[in-house]
Amino acid sequence: MEDFAEHQTLMKEVIAWADDSPDKWYALVETVKSRYVPTLPFSLDKLTPREVLLNWVSNRYGYCRGVATTNDADISFYKRVVAGLEESVPMALSLDHGMAKTFTLKIMKHNTVIEVEKV
């Protein structure tokens, strides 16, 4: 249980660090994608821990980008999706030690701004 609480704290630190910055969430998406190898067949019922993390940072990026760029669109759907995904993130981090370490190092190394070249 201590491991779960530790990874829940890490998730909260990632959220606090990236805040509502689309650029920081995009950097996290690229970080997870660069370390992701798809499993076949893909199934939403049985996501790997890395797939959970990729879904989380991707949806957080989409939500923050929507908040930053729109004045009237209803993006509350994405907020609910993110909230649902965040229930699984601490467990995914506890099972995927590599990404947990990567997130920790990224937060420590880039405590202010991450420079990422968008493709």
How far from 67 is each of 33, 42, 74, 82, 83, CA to CA, in Å? 23, 30, 9, 14, 16
pLDDT in tens, 19-70: 989 999 999 999 999 999 887 776 667 888 999 999 999 999 988 888 777 7
pLDDT of residue 2: 58
What is the rounded CA–CA span in Å between residue 66 and residue 101? Answer: 29
What's the pTM value of the predicted model, to 2 decimals? 0.80
Domain ranges of the chain: 2-109
